[in-house]
């Protein structure tokens, strides 16, 4: 059985995973940088990743029941992300590839979210999940910390049909949570408070063509919090507004491309209210909604390993000199050899 060792380190998460070439995830280890107050400082996050990366390699190999000599391929997240963080995963991956004479593949993180959705997405139905239906050519609603994009495969590339014009939806939730002193990551804490909220507060709804904007909302919500609005109602309303905005754009991407599958990806896709709204939208238009388990929604190395396998099987690989990180490369810059 051929195996890939994958590394993820685009932002707050350092992850190492072993995936087989036939798509079985044998291990998926990760450590998340967290704070009880304040946000991400890139140098601090890089130190965190540095101090965990080799323990994660050991635990990932041992959970998979294999050793480094069983590995046939190394994949790492090469783009896009925070330079300080990307560099740690890249150094570990490049060092192991050089030391063990293994081929190396660089993966685009956003595309990896879509590819893991195609591999592991479970179709949602009104009474749970139907496991026998697989996801083949979806629109990805990628809702994560730094990224918010609606992506689909058209004309030989992964195209961005809509995206945030400023901050990612997760960064929006985290900044808003920080203004309420909830710490990082804030999205899950906002979700818990939102369940206790009930009255919908009027907020700006910013969909511009196929794009969305969140930055002004942080200011508006902080002002309302200072004025004494209930935190529960603010969390409830914030979720209703921003999730409606991204679902609207995802729906228009489905309509425009004629595709009939939606898959959710990114840490914010763990949110039950977003999942519910996505399912409802798909149900209303006769499309299928796919969701992956939370460990594959958040940043994870299994999706990097799997996309690395797809790329390598189609002939992609990197020489060490060409394997530098590419923090600013966009989804639609990537040449797709494997579809």
Measured from the CB atom, is 113 or 122 closer to Mg ion? 113
268 binds, among Mg ion, ligand AMP, none (CB under 5 to 8 A by kind): ligand AMP
305 binds, among Mg ion, ligand AMP, none (CB under 5 to 8 A by kind): none
Q: How far is CA 14 from CA 8, 119, 136, 284, 324, in A?
A: 6, 22, 28, 38, 18
Measured from the CB of residue 117, what is the shortest distance to ligand AMP in angstroms? 13
Are the C-beta atoms of residues 243 and 236 closer than 8 Å to each other? no
Measured from the CB of residue 255, what is the shortest distance to Mg ion in angstroms? 26
Measured from the CB of residue 106, what is the shortest distance to ligand AMP in angstroms? 19
CA 286 to chain centre: 26
> Strand, coil or helix: what is 294?
helix
Measured from the CB of residue 66, what is the shortest distance to ligand AMP in angstroms? 26
Are the C-beta atoms of residues 32 and 13 closer than 8 Å to each other? yes
Measured from the CB of residue 118, what is the shortest distance to ligand AMP in angstroms? 17
Measured from the CB atom, is 236 or 243 closer to Mg ion? 243
Measured from the CB atom, is 94 or 231 closer to ligand AMP? 231
Rg over CA atoms, the chain: 20
What token pair was written down for 78? 């090469």
Distance CA 16, CA 300 (A): 8
Measured from the CB atom, is 172 or 312 closer to ligand AMP? 172
Helices (H), the chain: 42-64, 83-100, 109-120, 169-179, 187-196, 215-226, 231-257, 272-285, 294-297, 301-313
15 binds, among Mg ion, ligand AMP, none (CB under 5 to 8 A by kind): none
Measured from the CB of residue 19, what is the shortest distance to ligand AMP in angstroms? 18
Are the C-beta atoms of residues 331 and 111 closer than 8 Å to each other? yes
Short-list 93, 90, 67, 66, CA closest to 79 = 90
Measured from the CB of residue 299, what is the shortest distance to ligand AMP in angstroms? 4
Residues β-bridged to residue 25? 19
Measured from the CB of residue 108, what is the shortest distance to ligand AMP in angstroms? 14
106 binds, among Mg ion, ligand AMP, none (CB under 5 to 8 A by kind): none
Measured from the CB atom, is 14 or 287 closer to ligand AMP? 14
174 binds, among ligand AMP, Mg ion, none (CB under 5 to 8 A by kind): ligand AMP
Site for ligand AMP, rule CB under 6 A: 11, 13, 144-145, 170, 173-174, 185-188, 191, 266-268, 270-271, 298-299
What token pair was written down for 109? 């993180």
Starting at the edge strand found earlier in the chain, the sheet holding 3-8 runs 25-32, 13-20, 3-8, 73-79, 104-108
Distance CA 339, CA 330 (A): 18
CB-CB neighbours of 41 under 10 Å = 12
Residues numbered 101 to 130 that lie near Mg ion (CB under 5 A) are none
Measured from the CB atom, is 13 or 79 closer to ligand AMP? 13
191 binds, among Mg ion, ligand AMP, none (CB under 5 to 8 A by kind): ligand AMP
Residues numbered 130 to 189 that lie near Mg ion (CB under 5 A) are 144
Among positions 115, 191, 240, 299, the unique one binding Mg ion when judged by CB under 5 A: 299
Measured from the CB atom, is 71 or 110 closer to ligand AMP? 110
User: Given the rule CB under 5 A, which residues bind Mg ion?
Assistant: 144, 299
């Amino acid at each position: 059985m051929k195996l890939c060792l994958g590394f993820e380190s685009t932002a707050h998460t350092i992850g190492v995973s072993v995936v087989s070439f036939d798509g079985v995830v044998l291990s998926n280890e990760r450590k998340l940088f967290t704070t009880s107050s304040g946000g991400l400082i890139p140098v601090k996050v890089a130190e965190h990743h540095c101090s965990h990366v080799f323990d994660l390699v050991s635990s990932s190999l041992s959970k998979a029941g294999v050793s480094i000599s069983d590995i046939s391929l190394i994949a790492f997240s090469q783009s896009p992300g925070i330079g300080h963080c990307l560099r740690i995963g890249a150094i570990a991956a490049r060092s192991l590839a050089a030391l063990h004479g293994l081929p190396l593949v660089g993966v685009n993180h956003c595309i990896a979210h879509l590819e893991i959705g195609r591999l592991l997405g479970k179709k949602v139905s009104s009474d749970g999940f139907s496991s026998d239906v697989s996801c083949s050519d979806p629109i990805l609603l990628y809702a994560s910390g730094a990224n918010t994009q609606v992506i689909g495969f058209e004309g030989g590339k992964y195209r961005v049909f809509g995206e945030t014009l400023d901050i990612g939806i997760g960064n929006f939730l985290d900044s808003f949570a920080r203004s309420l002193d909830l710490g990082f990551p804030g999205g899950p804490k906002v979700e818990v408070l939102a369940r206790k909220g009930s009255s919908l507060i009027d907020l700006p709804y910013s969909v511009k063509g196929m794009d969305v904007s969140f930055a002004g909302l942080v200011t508006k919500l902080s002002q309302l919090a200072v004025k004494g609005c209930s935190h529960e109602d603010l969390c409830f309303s914030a979720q209703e507004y921003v999730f409606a905005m991204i679902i609207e754009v995802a729906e228009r991407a489905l309509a425009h491309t004629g595709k009939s599958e939606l898959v959710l990806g990114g840490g914010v896709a763990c949110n039950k209210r977003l999942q519910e709204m996505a399912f409802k939208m798909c149900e209303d238009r006769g499309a299928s909604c796919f969701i992956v388990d939370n460990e594959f929604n958040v940043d994870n190395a299994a999706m990097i390993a799997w996309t690395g396998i797809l790329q390598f099987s189609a002939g992609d690989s990197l020489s060490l000199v060409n394997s530098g990180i590419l923090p600013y490369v966009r989804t639609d810059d990537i040449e797709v050899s494997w579809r």
